[in-house]
Structure 1
C-alpha cells in the first residue's frame, strides 16, 4: 500500500509541477515538436534532438517489461505503455501505482512478447541510444540547452520526465527477475540503477522469460516408466 501511495503522490506532484511551477510555454513549442517529430532538425540544438529521441526509446524499454508484467495484472499494460510514447512518466506512474507484485508469467509468449523479451532488442536499443547520446554530447550547445531548460516548459518538463523514467525503472526489475528465476539478482538489480544505460544493459543481458503453461510443464516433467 505504501508503494501505491508513493507512486500516486509522485504522479500528482509531477503533474502539479509541470503545469504550475515549470517555466511558461513558448510560442514556438508546437513548431519545435513538429520539427523534432518529422526530422527537420536544422537550427535545433543537438542536445534537444538527442533528448527528444531518447524519450522515444524509453517507452520501448518500459514496454519490454510492462507488457510481460501486465500478463498477470488486473489492469491491461497497453493502456499505459502506449500513451507513454507521448507523455512518458505521466503514463507509467499510474501503472506503477495500480499494479500488484507479480512474480509469475502465466501462459506462453506470442510473437510480440518474444520480440520484447529478446536480448537483440535490448542490444539494438543500446546501440541506437549510444549514437544519440554521442551526437548530443559532441555536437550540442550546453549553454543554449540550460537557457532553454530555464525558459521553455517543453524542454524543462521533458528533462524532468527523463530523470523520473531513469529513477523508477528499478522498481519493475525485482519481479521481472523473479519471473526469470535469476539466482543472483544483486548485480542485475544494481545495473538497473545506472541512469538510462543501466536499463538498456539489463534488457541486453537478462535471461529469457520462462513460460508457464500446461504444455511447458508437461514437457519438463519426467516420463514415468
Structure 2
C-alpha cells in the first residue's frame, strides 16, 4: 500500500510540474546560472535562500538514506545523487522501492562515518538558520508570491522543498528506531521546523550502533 502511495505522489508531482504548474519564463536559464554562480544582485533574497536550501536537503537525506540503504538490497546512492539535481523527484522512487528497515548495520564505511558526524548536522543546521534569517529579514514576500504564480522554476522548487520536508518522517522513523530512540517530541520538532529541525536531528541523534541485523555493509 505504501509503495502505491509513493508512486502515486511521484506521478502526481511529475504531471503537476510539467502540465499544471505555471509556464517557464524566458529568463529561467539565466536565473539558474546566476543563482549557481553567486551573481545575486537584484534577485529576491527569498529565492536565493530557497535555491540554496535545496542544496542542503539532499545532504540531510543522504545522512539518513545511505545508512538506510546499507541494510537494503536496493542501493540508495543513485537516488541520493540524483536528488541534488531534482530533489523529491529522485527520492520518491527510493521511498517507494525500499523496505522498512530499522535494523543495525555490520560496519560503517568512511562515507557513513562522515554522514554520522554531528559536526555535519551542525554545519548544515547553521547554514539552514542563516538562509532562513536572510530570507525573513531581507526578502520581498509580495514579489516572491508573484514569482511563485508566474514562474515554473520557482513554483516547482517551492513545492519540492515542501515535499522533502513532509517526506522526512518516512526515513526518520526507521532511523530513530535503529538508534533506540523513542522520543516523540523530537519527531514533532523535526516537522515543526522545516529543514532546521532535520539538521537539528542530525546534530542530536546518538551514534549508530554496529550490529549483525543488516545484510548490506556498503553504500556503493
Task: Please tell me the TM-score bracket, short chain as reference.
Answer: over 0.9
What are the ranges of 5 or more consecutive residues in structure 2 without an aligned counterpart?
A: 214-220
- Distance in 2 between residues matched to 1:22 and 1:141, nearest whole Å: 22
The structural deviation recorded for 1:126 is 0.7
CA distance in 1, matches of 2:158, 2:167: 15
Q: Which residue of 1 aligns with 2:169?
A: 170
Flag as ranges the 4+ runs of structure 1 deviating above 4 A: none
Indicate the residue corresponding to 1:43 in structure 2: 42
Alpha-carbon distance in structure 1 between the residues aligned to 2:43 and 2:25 = 15
For structure 1, the 5+ residue unaligned runs are: 215-225
Structure exhibiting the larger radius of gyration computed from Cα positions: 1
Give the Cα–Cα distance (whole angstroms) in 2 for the partners of residues 70 and 119 of structure 1: 20
Once the 2 structures are TM-superposed, how far is the Cα of residue 123 of structure 1 from its aligned partner? 1.0
Partner of 2:185: 187
Partner SS for 1:212: coil
Cα drift, residue 105 of structure 1: 2.8
Count of residues in correspondence between the two structures? 212
Q: Which residue of 2 aligns with 1:222?
A: none
- The CA distance in 1 between the partners of 2:73 and 2:8, in whole Å, is 21
Structure showing greater relative contact order (alpha-carbon pairs closer than 8 Å, 6 or more residues apart): 2
CA RMSD in angstroms comes to 1.3
CA distance in 2: counterparts of 1:3 and 1:78, whole angstroms: 21
The 8 Å contact of residues 179 and 206 in structure 2, kept in 1 or not, is answered as yes
* SS of structure 2 residue aligned to 1:169: helix
SS of equivalent residue, structure 1 residue 121: helix
Please list the CA deviations of residues 173-217 of structure 1 after superposition, one character each: whole Å capped at 9, or x if unmatched.
1111121122x3312222222222221121111111111259xxx
